[in-house]
Chain A
Amino acid sequence: MSMQVEDPRVIEFDVRTDEMLVNMGPQHPSTHGVLRLLLKTDGEVVSEVTPHIGYLHRCAEKIGENLSPPQWIPYTDRMDYLAAMNMNLGFSLAVEKLIGMEVPEKAMNCRLIIAELGRIASHLVGMGAYGLDLGSFSPFLYAFREREIILDLFEETCGARLTYSYMTPGGVTHDLPGMITIPPGLAQLTGHSPDMELEWKDAVLMFLEWLETRIREYHTLLTRNAIFIKRTAGIGILTPEMAKSYGCTGPVLRGSGIDYDLRRDGEEIYTRMYKGYNFEIPVAPFDAAPHGVELGDNWSRFYVRMMEVVQAIGLVRQGLEKYETAEGTYREGFKMGSKLPSDECYLETESPRGQMGFYIVGSGAAEPLRTRAKSSCFCNLSVTAPLCENTLLGDIPSVVGSLDIVMGEIDR
């Protein structure tokens, strides 16, 4: 049945938008894994965001109650699989704190070099994937090209490329390697013969030197890119009060202007690894920020990560220098079935995505009564709901991407 309208223009005023529920994920590419966001939208404006997690829940904590700590190390690899080395480190240190063990200087030095290389690899993925979220494809390819070389170097160190289980209670499983064949990616990029043999240490230094010159390129590709700035500056502003209340840590916290890094402010068992090293902790606001950037927005969080890569390069260099004179062995014995005391301890370490905490309760048996992994991304993600209120639909990937989450760590 047709309807007569006296004045066609009236229809214009009559068109109303309805609230609509949109499911974003769990297979959406820009949700970084299996995260499902339930969006309540009115046109382009999102009024409410409800994150649903748990699609990757593998009961890691329950499994940990039936395994001795060295046996649980591989499970920590599979939490934050982009920074598995830093996960190993956090749990190993927590176990050492519980049993009162001190690792030799050499072991600490190996751990520092590898953990900081892991931080570079992790931030490279964070940067590349963030570019991809915002529709810029090339930084992603560059980031993975660079990360590939770090993975090759890790493979020479411990045999694995992604799930290393390299740092265990007592130290590390292998000493740093000696002569290696140059990683194929590095040979190609630096113009050396692919058959070239060199010291592992020299390969790392060669890579760092090359990476350092690339960082300026990333800045032109993303940081100073007008489109990138438009999509990130002044969007997703996380105030310092909110960051504190929601337990945000790592680059997300420092992007909101709170100067706190466990490598400097943490517990002694962790900070003594970094004793005698010179490094700065990048904290927003930055002098280099382009027009429109505000404290705690997407751009600030991204820039903190970029600056941390520069600091990590310096730390690895200093570590390699100190490696020559480091005393002791790379590994102190930890007996497989040794009993844990009837005590408990909690330790947080500065993993690339924030403060990763491990809580272990012993009961006199070899298996702990409780192993708890407090995920940094879990806390960082919990802030999405208030952060995404009343933003545009297109800005949701920009905000969620800037938190740099890994679902394996959130769901455990």
Chain B
Amino acid sequence: MNTEEIHGLLAEQFGDAILELKTEAIDPWIVVSADKIVDILTFLRDDERLQFDHLNDLTAVDFLEPDEKKAKKFPYDPHLEIVYHLSSFGLKHRTVIKISVPRWKNDEPGSHPEIPSVAGVFGIADWHEREAYDMFGINFVGHPNLKRILCPEDWEGHPLRKDYDFPLEYHGIRGM
């Protein structure tokens, strides 16, 4: 089943929560609204026609160009995207679901954007969401154990954000 047909099924089921369909990309994607993501992924997993039983990857992308000179040529507006790559073992098809959120909640630098956690739908989302929290500072609401996974627990900042400041020291260990 291709992404247009999947989009059709989702739009029929969820209506306004399905925001955008992009077909001219290499991997076509569907943008959905954040507050419905748990229902949407559950539907994708359980529906007989779709059977998306494998969450290949869950990650985020920070669309920002911190360098002012380069920013003029930068083709995207500043925002964060959470990307879900799904596939089906039985039907052997693939799709991409995306959520787009502002970089900071209410545009206050430092306050983490909030997304419902899908750890209850796919077991692996637990660790992927912890990594996304660690690297991007996204607050997955309803996650059973939202702690840093790769960085130490007392690490400051979220390294994969584009405006991240590299620390000069960590517990007396000098860097750079």
Contacts and interface: CB of A to CB of B under 8 A. Distances in A.
A187 to B, nearest CB: 45
A378 B160 contact: no
Contacts of B122: 245-247
B26 interface: yes
Contacts, number: 93
A338 interface: no
Interface residues of B, number: 37
Interface stretch (B8-16, B34-42, B51-59, B102-110): B51-59
A361 B160 CA distance: 14
Contacts of B54: 244, 247
B57 A378 contact: no
A59 interface: yes
Residue from A59, A242, A265 having most chain B Cβ neighbours under 10 A: A59
B28 to A, nearest CB: 11
Contact of A346 (B55, B70, B85, B149): B85
Contact of A244 (B62, B65, B75, B89): B89
Given A344-B25, A346-B57, A57 B123 contact: no
B61 A370 contact: yes
Contacts of B85: 346, 357, 359, 374
B75 A364 contact: yes
B1 interface: no
A61 interface: yes
B125 to A, nearest CB: 9
B61 A346 contact: no
B151 interface: yes
Contacts of B4: none
B55 A247 contact: yes
Contacts of A357: 56-57, 85
Given A244-B89, A265-B92, A382-B124, A57 B151 contact: yes
Contacts of A364: 73-75
Contacts of B96: 346
Nearest to A267: B94
Interface of B: 25-27, 53-57, 59, 61-63, 65, 70, 73-76, 83, 85, 89, 92, 94, 96, 122-124, 126-127, 135, 148-152, 159-160
Given A62-B159, A374-B59, 9 more contacts: A98-B26, A244-B53, A246-B124, A247-B122, A355-B56, A357-B57, A374-B56, A374-B57, A411-B150
Top 9 nearest A-B pairs by Cβ distance? A247-B124, A245-B123, A54-B150, A246-B123, A374-B57, A345-B26, A382-B127, A57-B150, A370-B61
Interface of A: 53-54, 57, 59, 61-62, 65, 97-98, 100, 242, 244-247, 258, 260, 265, 267, 342-346, 348, 355, 357, 359, 361, 363-365, 369-370, 372, 374, 378-379, 382-383, 386, 411-412
